[in-house]
A and B are shown apart, each in its own frame.
Chain A
Amino acid sequence: MVHLTDAEKALVSGLWGKVDVDEIGGESLSSLLVVYPWTQRFFEHFGDLSSASAVMNNAQVKAHGKKVIHSFADGLKHLDNLKGTFSSLSELHCDKLHVDPENFRLLGNMIIIALSHHLGKEFTPCAQAAFQKVVAGVANALAHKYH
């Protein structure tokens, strides 16, 4: 469970409302695949990932980024019960997708960087701290059902 103060909750929802969520999703996933190319191992069926621009323009990456970020956004509405919210996704990532949970932490940091990139000045240290709590909570929730 994440413990955000009321001020942090307000910061998170306020800033989230200001970004183009789909763009954040696409950028976060693309960055993950470009900065940590070994993460491409999960997406061999996505076609051309051979260069940064191929990744950024890849329609499947964008679509998957959108899927992932909308799921993340769902988490933002249930900060008091992240483990419950992500329970079946956790099982899926363990049993079917076989994704090392370290990847959730890497992606969480890519989301932070994308937010910083888009929000500029408003992404203060306080804002970063609040969002870091959220991404850590989501990563832990997604790892919770691993066995």
Chain B
Amino acid sequence: MVFSEDDKRSIKGIWNKVGGHLREYGAEALERMFFVYPTTKTYFPHFDLSHGSAQVKGHGKKVADALTNAVGHLDDLPGALSALSDLHAHKLRVDPVNFKLLSHCLLVTLANHHPADFTPAVHASLDKFFASVSTVLTSKYR
């Protein structure tokens, strides 16, 4: 997947707007995902998944930080996400279908909190970005 200059501008633009809230949004996206798609909970039997859980907040922060790193390396996602890609392939082995579910919940969360900035063009660029990150994270699966 190739990011146009407009895609990069849209992605970085909304990332800057969101700023410090991103970690909160990471947690909210996870909460939505666990609630809406209960099968995703199977990957977290060791977590307290109740509302406001510290573990979910912590994990949301991890996901948010990884995405922020990716935003800083849009021209080399495989490089930037290489270690996470290995982790998902060899240790976590989260079925690829689940990345679409989390990506959808991230979009729902961002649209929810930033209605004015979540334009169709930004939505399209973000969808591409999450899809690209998902592809990289599952690229070493087989």
Contact = CB atoms under 8 A, between A and B. Distances in A.
Q: Does B bind A?
A: yes
Contacts of A35: 120, 123-124, 127
Given A120-B115, A132-B36, A56 B108 contact: no
Given A35-B123, A123-B112, A129 B36 contact: yes
Does more than half of chain B's interface fall in helix, strand or loop, or is it mixed? helix
A107 B129 CA distance: 19
A34 B115 contact: no
Chain B interface size, as a band, is 10 to 19
Interface in A14-68: 30-31, 34-35, 52, 55-56
Interface string A89-125: 0000000000000000000010011001111110101
Nearest to B36: A129
B32 A128 contact: yes
Contacts of A117: 111-112, 115, 118
B120 A113 contact: no
Chain A interface size, as a band, is 20 to 34
A53 B124 CA distance: 13
Given A34-B124, A35-B127, A125-B31, A52 B112 contact: no
Nearest to B114: A117
Contact of B35 (A55, A123, A125): A125
Contacts of A56: 120
Interface of A: 30-31, 34-35, 52, 55-56, 109, 112-113, 116-121, 123, 125-126, 128-129, 132
A132 B104 CA distance: 11
A52 B4 CA distance: 14
Interface of B: 31-32, 35-36, 104, 107-109, 111-113, 115, 118-121, 123-124, 127
17 contacts: A35-B120, A35-B124, A56-B120, A112-B104, A112-B108, A113-B107, A113-B108, A116-B111, A117-B115, A118-B115, A120-B112, A120-B113, A123-B108, A123-B112, A125-B35, A128-B36, A132-B36
A88 B98 CA distance: 33
Nearest to B35: A125
A128 B28 CA distance: 12
A61 to B, nearest CB: 11
Contact of B108 (A30, A52, A55, A128): A128
B35 A129 contact: yes
Contacts of A128: 32, 35-36, 108
Nearest to B34: A125
A56 B122 CA distance: 13
Nearest to B122: A52
A82 to B, nearest CB: 19
